[in-house]
Structure 1
């Protein structure tokens, strides 16, 4: 008899959970029926791919004018395949690796008045580098050496090598770390410098000032620009493990291999969903229901999923692969034992969310004034007195997904256009926000290649853009424009505790089944990076198999 599983959420977490479950069932001979429910009309979670028109092409050869059209990701937009080994393996399995294209991995740090501070040009291959601003040349090269040591030491504090001391507690913040480094540079950093074979004169009286500069002009801006930073405490108030575990997963001590998703991040998720459907059998099936907001009713012996406007359906197990607050809203706790219900509810409520916008535009006021220091990633440096700020970062799309390494996407290179992540739509000139094209305006070859619904529905509606439905009519004047609202869990101490509590619940439920319910989603593992979502999905598969074996035995 087939075991029926419902997965709530069609983002990276939900789809990868379905993939691993399908693979396990196919290899074990277990009959399995998997149904994925996604509230939005397309896959993606915090992914959203838009298509925009930047002007018209004229070749001067008598050919008719044609629209100059580009696409951009408003949310999730690139990964590091050098460290995302699970993602690379999955993509190789489904034949998607050839769609992961290289990008220029460069960064500028600049102030709000437009004056550039520093540029990280280690991976610059097509552009102008200026020694006055090049991070590698700053302070005679001493700044760059010290950054390497500070960075590696922080990673070792949150993820010690085997046999080392325990990791620092969650209460140890980014501010604590930098204060200690400034107060006692040699005591904190000398051992790491020796291991890295980096020569630093610890008697140099300028070292504390250099570390202060590293904190204020590099790390605080970078951490402020992270989607999971607490906008109430700022970067200094974050647990050290939040950003530096992120760096560890992103970098892994190897040369980065940063790639973007050809035709957008939704393109790969759609490809994954299609591959699972094509590899379904009579015994192991995966199917997807889009535009399906659901209510989930759980009791110790049953699970019922009721899509809005549809009949309820019974399942043997439900996997919640969505934001904590969305899981809280979707679950009906009436059938759950009161103590367990209170535990789950209190855990989910520990996770706080911030809202921000992804906007595709041509407003270069958000970039450094000197165009020669524009980089793929452009990070705003807040004044020291204003470090508690919502994040803001601008991507130059011509370097990100329209770059010289990919000639078909760079046959002109102009006009320049940008995607900016920021807390307030009003920070961008309204007439600079590009219009989201609908299907009729997109050439057929792009319409065939781009993700489902990336170019539709009609621009007058916005139901498919991130979580824009939550803003109501606040931005009615921006309807049809290329923007979306996203929400991200704040990776503070409360969230980290909630992650541990929810993992314990999942583990206990697998060992001694309490109810047909497990929790996944990006919020349950670290910063919710692709690789962390896949790690969680593999754990969900292990827990599910234990649950199935005990269910069938009992």
Structure 2
């Protein structure tokens, strides 16, 4: 039986991995590389070679169990990393990092700032509310912050910047996020507690190392640089149309691309497909790989793994700089590679190494509602859907979704369970 998989991000690769021994698989990828948001850039600096991640970077053992099992099965090496967060507001000449007392008070003025102490107290207050389902109710983030009178410092210099950084979305969209979704994420990832937070890891040698091993174990036909334009369906299967005159019949198709892309590919989508896939919005972010440390806090002791800058209006796209030297455990004398989302105009042009555009799902209430309807479209009309947009938008969600699509397909074809 022939299976087409469109999209080679983590979801598509996972589906292919778990179907590889049962079916004849062809995987189509529009980009020149496999991996989607797993995009490691090879760069040379002063006669040294570096592999710097620009999309997917970190994972942990607690909330990435399926991804971890796949890595271990492929004998992929990974290393512990440091996760820390800083906030900087150039308009107020204010900054701090949360990794220690020293970095909290990296600016001496913070010692005399009563609003700063109030922010710290309200972080503890918020963490307590995260354990109280009665307080969460059916509120959005903004409604919750208003109802419980959280101070501007907590909102603008802690919660909203952190969430905008995590989900790569703008502040206003964070405000409209269902609070229950955010709280579940904070609790699961240890963000609602001061102690016993999970250890985070990075792939040794860059995230592309797991893509290499995974693709070598697929036993599938892998077609990169091959955009697909249309998927038509009939009683017997599907026909895939794409670049270079591609027109090929398959028994089933797995659409492992973003939900909006999947909807655009389907010829004559059903009403439920339009309703469900069309409900999920995306935010486009420009990722810039560069060497300009001016995007980091002015006080070097506050340099963190993730660094949020609110030197722009809060309604605009977030400016988040990942200090890759910290995240990927580079040596002290290695360059300060940074990946910044948005804010290109703030970066010295001669220090820019690469620009990439990513689209991230916006997990608002209508997206959460759409996620609950996956079974109304998955496996219908010879078509399966997978992607991180069915969950929190992260790598583990992509793996789980790819496994779910593979499971549905196997159950339909031969009534068996997925062999893990």
Q: Give TM class, smaller chain.
A: 0.7 to 0.9
2:234 paired with 1:299: yes
Give the drift of 1:148. 3.9
Give the drift of 1:213. 2.8
**DSSP-derived class of the 2:27 partner:** strand
Answer yes or no: is the 8 Å Cα contact 1:378–1:393 preserved in 2.
yes
Answer yes or no: is the 8 Å Cα contact 2:129–2:136 preserved in 1.
no
Q: Quick one: distance in 2 between partners of 1:40 and 1:270?
A: 16
2:416 paired with 1:544: no
Q: Quick one: distance in 2 between partners of 1:287 and 1:225?
A: 36
Which residue in 2 is equivalent to 1:16?
Answer: 14
Q: Quick one: distance in 1 between partners of 2:28 and 2:225?
A: 8
Give the drift of 1:15. 0.6
Answer yes or no: is the 8 Å Cα contact 1:293–1:308 preserved in 2.
yes
Larger fraction in strand: 2
Q: Find the partner of 1:7 among 5, 8, 22.
A: 5
Answer yes or no: is the 8 Å Cα contact 2:142–2:176 preserved in 1.
yes
Give the drift of 1:358. 0.9
Answer yes or no: is the 8 Å Cα contact 2:259–2:278 preserved in 1.
yes
Q: Quick one: distance in 1 between partners of 2:155 and 2:117?
A: 17
Answer yes or no: is the 8 Å Cα contact 1:230–1:492 preserved in 2.
no
Do the aligned partners of residues 547 and 342 (structure 1) sit closer, same or farther apart at CA in structure 2, a change above 3 Å counting?
A: same
2:48 paired with 1:50: no
Which residue in 2 is equivalent to 1:319?
Answer: 254
Answer yes or no: is the 8 Å Cα contact 2:190–2:198 preserved in 1.
yes
Residue-by-residue CA offset, 1:210-259 (whole Å, 9 max, x unaligned):
xx43222100111222335356x343222223433433443387532211
Do the aligned partners of residues 273 and 114 (structure 1) sit closer, same or farther apart at CA in structure 2, a change above 3 Å counting?
A: farther
Q: Find the partner of 2:79 among 98, 101, 110.
A: 101
Give the drift of 1:102. 1.7
Q: Quick one: distance in 1 between partners of 2:106 and 2:293?
A: 22
Answer yes or no: is the 8 Å Cα contact 2:95–2:297 preserved in 1.
no
2:381 paired with 1:515: yes
Give the drift of 1:9. 0.8
2:228 paired with 1:309: no
Residue-by-residue CA offset, 1:108-147 (whole Å, 9 max, x unaligned):
111134834321115x9xxx7464569x999798855642
2:359 paired with 1:359: no
Answer yes or no: is the 8 Å Cα contact 2:170–2:318 preserved in 1.
no
Q: Quick one: distance in 2 between partners of 1:299 and 1:230?
A: 41
Q: Find the partner of 1:246 among 185, 198, 212.
A: 185
Q: Quick one: distance in 1 between partners of 2:370 and 2:8?
A: 22
Give the drift of 1:156. 5.3
Which residue in 2 is equivalent to 1:150?
Answer: 126
Q: Find the partner of 1:433 among 327, 336, 352.
A: 352
Residue-by-residue CA offset, 1:27-66 (whole Å, 9 max, x unaligned):
xxxx422222111121121232212333x3xxxxxxxxxx
Give the drift of 1:499. 2.1
- TM-score normalised over the length of structure 1: 0.67
Answer with 146-155 or 391-400: which moved more. 146-155
Do the aligned partners of residues 275 and 148 (structure 1) sit closer, same or farther apart at CA in structure 2, a change above 3 Å counting?
A: farther
- The alignment covers a number of residue pairs equal to 409
Do the aligned partners of residues 234 and 544 (structure 1) sit closer, same or farther apart at CA in structure 2, a change above 3 Å counting?
A: closer
Do the aligned partners of residues 359 and 130 (structure 1) sit closer, same or farther apart at CA in structure 2, a change above 3 Å counting?
A: same
Answer yes or no: is the 8 Å Cα contact 2:130–2:187 preserved in 1.
no
Residues 291-440 of structure 1 correspond to what in structure 2 (within 5 A)? 291-294=225-228, 295-333=230-268, 341-381=270-310, 386-401=313-328, 403=329, 409-410=330-331, 412-422=332-342, 424-434=343-353
Which residue in 1 is equivalent to 2:359?
Answer: 487
Give the drift of 1:394. 0.7
Give the drift of 1:12. 0.3
Q: Quick one: distance in 2 between partners of 1:80 and 1:380?
A: 25
Q: Find the partner of 1:91 among 58, 71, 82.
A: 71
**DSSP-derived class of the 1:484 partner:** strand
**DSSP-derived class of the 1:7 partner:** strand
**DSSP-derived class of the 1:276 partner:** coil
Query: Which residues of structure 2 form unaligned runs of 5+?
Result: none
RMSD of the alignment, in Å?
Answer: 3.0
Question: Greater Rg, structure 1 or structure 2?
Answer: 1
Residue-by-residue CA offset, 1:387-443 (whole Å, 9 max, x unaligned):
322111112222111x3xxxxx41x52432311111x53332212212xxxxxxxxx
Q: Quick one: distance in 1 between partners of 2:316 and 2:79?
A: 33
Which residue in 2 is equivalent to 1:177?
Answer: 144
2:197 paired with 1:255: yes
Give the drift of 1:505. 2.2
**DSSP-derived class of the 1:486 partner:** strand
Give the drift of 1:353. 1.8
